Amino acid sequence: MELWKINLLNYKNLSYFFFIGCFVVGALTASSYSWAASADKNKLPQIGTSGFSVLSVDKERLIGTAMMQQIRARGGIINDPVLIEYINHLGNSLVKNANDVNYSFEFFIVNNQELNAFAFFGGHIGIHSGLITTADTESELASVIAHEISHVTQRHLARRIEAQSRTQPLTLAGIVSGVLLTMINPAVGMAALSTSMAASQQFGINYTRGNEKEADRVGITLLAHSGFDPLGAPNFFNKMLEKYRYTSKPPAMLLTHPLPESRVSEARIRAQNFPKISVAPKLDFELAKARIKARYEGDPEYNINHFSSAISKGQYAFLAAARYGLALSYFEDKAYDKALAILNDLLQEDANNLFYIDALSDVLIALKQFKQAEKMLATVNWLMPNNQVAALNYANVLLEMGNLDASAQVLQDFLLVSPDSFIAYDLLTTVYRKQDKKALMHVSKAQVMALVGAYTQAIDELQTAMTYADDLPIISKRIKGRILQLQDQQEKLKRLN
């Protein structure tokens, strides 16, 4: 489904985000300053357990949620159910083998061709799309994700803030704001971090290198224990070094994750200590790469030539992935019949592949073949109830057909198990608007705003919904309850200070 192109509301200019950003930074600064005044400044951090003096796990969750809301509001996240499903399946296959997991992790992809990945409070991990397309194997991609998971489980950001607060408590605001900047623009963010730590810059650099070594150690162990090739880590490190050895501008990941050659050697030695693991190429990994290239990189004409050439030269580990990329490129070029022929053939080979089903749904909608799309997706949604690819595509096709009640029911059922789905609420807002259900439309719109942290505006939407719910007592009670929930979330943020 073309939900990655969905016309979402623009929340970038809401003043609330400035408040949240300043408030989170201010709350961290105030709490750490009072703590640091009485701390033993000569006390060294304990590996893997420190950081709790400045930030509890509960505070990390709250701050992580607020930061994630800011990132959503800025835009740039790929809201693509197929890729969301893939990256979270891969990430959670690693998390289930990790130690010291205090959160349910959320993995997301940033539409950026730079090589970068980052982790922050509360188990949030972002991967730039360029990193996925650059990796040659799923083990290489998994090695980066395992590294970022290790930063989270070892609480490196909290420990960094705690260590810095012992010498310069008032620079904490600069550190946190620098972290936020680094996620969006690594070069600017690292400059902000460097400025904020001017008086103890070498200490900060050394501490970062210590964190990186620990994340390498824990990450490679996690990689091996999860059934991936542990050599994926040094192989990807070496690839980055070779690619950028003679360039003046290193990739974003080398700015945020320093990579001296000694670190590559140490990673290779560590990986070789594990039994050799032979991992077969993964079709889903190749399909994800093809999807990113076809939909987020280059133009349709270039991509058609690229995938056609790859097919003729046998350059893909799976011919099916190149054909899939070609079908998506034809779709982008509005050559729907050519895309349809390829996708029908692919589905004959793999009937329940969600990559193919999603793409075929787009093609059938473009060709106005709604009945065929509805029949296919009804079956898939029955086989995989509340799977986000199946449910959201099915709801979208029902919406296109004008079957609004059925579309709303599918989305409501899906939101019971996935209450933070930005796409589902946005679709539901459209459904309610077409049904002229004003109260429910404003409620759904409020949920979208809440997911980007605009609590004040979300409450305003709910209060507007109340004016249309006078003769709907049950809905009215639910609206009042939701207002109280959002007010409580605001209060929890305030209590951080």
**Looking at the annotation, which residues are catalytic?**
148, 216
CB atoms within 10 A of CB 15: 10
- Residue 124 labelled as part of a binding site: no
| Beta-ladder partners of 118 | 126
Please, what's the b/e burial string for 116-144 (b: 16 or more CB within 10 A of its CB; e: otherwise)?
bbbbbbbbbbbbbbbbbbbbebbbbbbbb
- Residue 286 labelled as part of a binding site: no
Q: Cβ(51)–Cβ(161) under 8 Å?
A: yes
DSSP structure class, residue 57: H
For the stretch 320-325, contacts whose Cβ atoms lie closer than 8 Å and that sit 24 or more positions apart, written own/partner, are 320/283, 320/286, 320/287, 320/346, 320/349, 320/350, 321/283, 321/286, 321/287, 321/289, 321/290, 322/290, 324/287, 324/290, 324/291, 324/355, 324/356, 324/359, 325/290, 325/291, 325/293, 325/294
Angle among Cα 446, 448, 450 to the nearest 5 degrees reads 70
* 314 residue type, one letter: G
CA 184 to chain centre: 13
Q: Cβ(91)–Cβ(73) under 8 Å?
A: no
- Residue 147 labelled as part of a binding site: yes
Measured distance CA(460)–CA(297) in Å, rounded: 39
Q: Do strands 106-110 and 124-128 pair parallel, antiparallel, or not at all (unpaired)?
A: parallel
CB atoms within 10 A of CB 412: 14
Q: Cβ(228)–Cβ(277) under 8 Å?
A: yes
**By three-state DSSP, how is residue 119 classified?**
strand
Residue with tokens 């296919």: 376
DSSP structure class, residue 38: T
SS (H, E, C) 159-206: HHHHHHHCCCHHHHHHHHHHHHHHHHCHHHHHHHHHHHCHHHHHHHHH
Binding region: 147, 151, 212
Q: Which residues are annotated as a binding site for Zn(2+)?
A: 147, 151, 212
